[in-house]
């Protein structure tokens, strides 16, 4: 039996990739993605059924908020049965946050959701956008024995497919703008696309797609540095509405042992706050208790974020705080991987 024509929905939220030069004004303006094959005629050679949804107005990625994530998720949900895969075109600045958020929101996902973008507009001669778009579509449509090869939320950029909630933006200049410090690429595109199928997450139990749309934005991120003032830490933890703190500590999760510092953290936790300990290092993991300088954090009640990225830590905490779960259950879920975001 011949497999049906593969179909991919392209969701253009905004970002550099969708810009072309306006011949009248000479400025960059968003293109009409209904005519994307005019800019990227190579797409016609796929033979795929391609449809597009364009946000109106388009959103600069610096303006992305949780409502944007809900909008993307709902667009996927509404079209889930009609398409084999989804490509989300997004600005690079907050792409890792959005991909992380969608990985937690799309529960029961069994199809590819590939985020991509560009450092140069698709209408510019040297753009990286064409290759990123073409390969993202190919990956979103790829099936073996009728099943998607990568049923995850991913980021594809400069020849590498990375798990979305393991990815950080590390360069504002180079085409290879993203890295996944603690997990190898899910695929690499050269003469062929080679999939690392032993680390791709495949569903073990089939269930319908469910979108978790509720976020609690009462989350703060605090990066420690030598000489940080007690007043700074106190003001963050006493900020009205803050329920969760992502604490960026040194190395393997180390922090000052001063009584006032641990006291501030204990007081916040005793009032119902939650503190997730993540490392400032791009690679490596929190291992509380490995050194004496992290032992006090355990007694204060901090949760180890292990090797989670800041982007995944923030979005995971937001969605769990928004779930209405009791604190004990919420803490347990923060401490373990939900969709491959930590080892």
- Which residue ranges make up each domain of the chain? 7-211, 219-334
Residue 17: CA atoms inside 13 Å, Cβ hemisphere, count? 32
pLDDT of 89 over the 90 cut? yes
pLDDT of 3 over the 60 cut? no
pLDDT of 329 over the 90 cut? yes
Q: How many Å apart are CA 166 and CA 282, to the nearest integer? A: 11
The domain defined by 7-211 folds into: Rossmann fold (3.40.50)
Cα torsion 238, 240, 244, 245 to 10°: value is -40
pLDDT of 7 over the 70 cut? yes
- Strand 274-279, strand 244-249: pairing: parallel
Cα distances (Å, whole numbers) of residue 185 to 43, 99, 188, 201: 25, 15, 7, 13
Intrachain domains 7-211 and 219-334 with the same fold:
yes
Q: How many Å apart are CA 282 and CA 311, to the nearest integer? A: 12
The per-residue pLDDT for range 111-122, each reduced to its tens digit, is 999 999 998 887
With beta carbons less than 8 A apart as the criterion, state whether 190 and 166 touch: no
pLDDT for position 16: 83
Residue among 134, 150, 2, 39 at smallest CA distance from 85 = 150
- Strand 244-249, strand 219-223: pairing: parallel
pLDDT of 35 over the 60 cut? no
pLDDT of 293 over the 90 cut? no
The per-residue pLDDT for range 11-27, each reduced to its tens digit, is 999 988 877 777 777 66
With beta carbons less than 8 A apart as the criterion, state whether 93 and 16 touch: no
> pLDDT band at 259, cuts 50/70/90?
very high
- For domain 219-334, give the CATH number: 3.40.50.40
> pLDDT band at 2, cuts 50/70/90?
very low
Q: How many Å apart are CA 27 and CA 125, to the nearest integer? A: 15
Range 297-318 average pLDDT: 96
> pLDDT band at 197, cuts 50/70/90?
very high
φ/ψ bin of 301: left (φ > 0), alpha (ψ from -120 to 50), beta (otherwise)? left
φ/ψ bin of 266: left (φ > 0), alpha (ψ from -120 to 50), beta (otherwise)? alpha
**What is the Cα 139 distance to its own chain's centre?**
18
pLDDT of 199 over the 90 cut? yes
Q: Active site residue: 13, 16, 309, 315, which one? A: 16
**E strand segments, 164-288:** 168-169, 178-179, 187-189, 193-195, 210-211, 219-223, 244-249, 274-279
* Residue bearing the bigger pLDDT, 149 or 125: 149
Range 238-242 average pLDDT: 96
With beta carbons less than 8 A apart as the criterion, state whether 101 and 85 touch: no
How many of the other CB atoms lie within 10 Å of CB of 225?
Answer: 9
DSSP-derived secondary structure for 157-196: ETTEEEEGGG-EE--SSSS--EE-TTS--SEEESSSEEE-
Range 144-148 average pLDDT: 92
pLDDT of 1 over the 60 cut? no
Instruction: Establish whether 315 is a catalytic residue.
Output: no
């Amino acid at each position: 039996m011949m497999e049906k024509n593969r179909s991919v929905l392209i969701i253009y939220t905004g970002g550099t990739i969708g810009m072309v030069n306006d011949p009248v004004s000479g400025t960059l303006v968003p293109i009409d993605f209904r005519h994307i094959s005019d800019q990227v005629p190579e797409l016609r050679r796929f033979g795929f059924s391609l449809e597009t949804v364009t946000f109106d107005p388009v959103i600069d990625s610096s303006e992305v908020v949780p409502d944007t994530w809900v909008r993307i998720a709902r667009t996927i949900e509404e079209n889930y049965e009609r398409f084999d895969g989804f490509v989300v075109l997004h600005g690079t600045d907050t792409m890792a946050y959005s991909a992380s958020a969608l990985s937690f929101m799309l529960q029961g996902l069994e199809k590819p959701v590939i985020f991509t973008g560009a450092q140069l507009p698709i209408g510019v001669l040297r753009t990286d956008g064409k290759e990123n778009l073409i390969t993202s579509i190919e990956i979103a449509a790829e099936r073996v024995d009728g099943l998607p090869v990568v049923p995850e939320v991913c980021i594809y950029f400069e020849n590498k497919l990375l798990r979305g909630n393991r990815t950080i933006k590390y360069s504002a200049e180079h085409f290879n703008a993203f890295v996944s410090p603690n997990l190898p690429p899910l695929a690499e595109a050269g003469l062929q696309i080679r999939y690392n199928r032993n680390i791709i997450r495949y569903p073990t139990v089939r269930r319908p797609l469910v979108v978790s749309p509720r976020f609690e934005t009462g989350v703060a991120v605090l990066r420690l540095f030598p000489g940080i003032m007690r007043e700074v830490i106190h003001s963050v933890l006493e900020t009205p509405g803050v329920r969760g703190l992502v604490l960026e500590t040194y190395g393997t999760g180390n922090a000052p042992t001063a009584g006032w510092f641990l006291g501030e953290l204990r007081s916040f936790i005793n009032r119902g706050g939650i503190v997730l300990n993540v490392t400032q290092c791009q690679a490596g993991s929190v291992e509380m208790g490995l050194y004496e300088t992290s032992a006090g954090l355990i007694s204060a009640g901090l949760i180890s974020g292990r090797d989670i990225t800041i982007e995944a830590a923030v979005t995971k905490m937001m969605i769990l705080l928004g779930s209405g779960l009791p604190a004990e259950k919420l803490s347990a879920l923060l401490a373990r991987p939900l969709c491959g975001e930590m080892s």
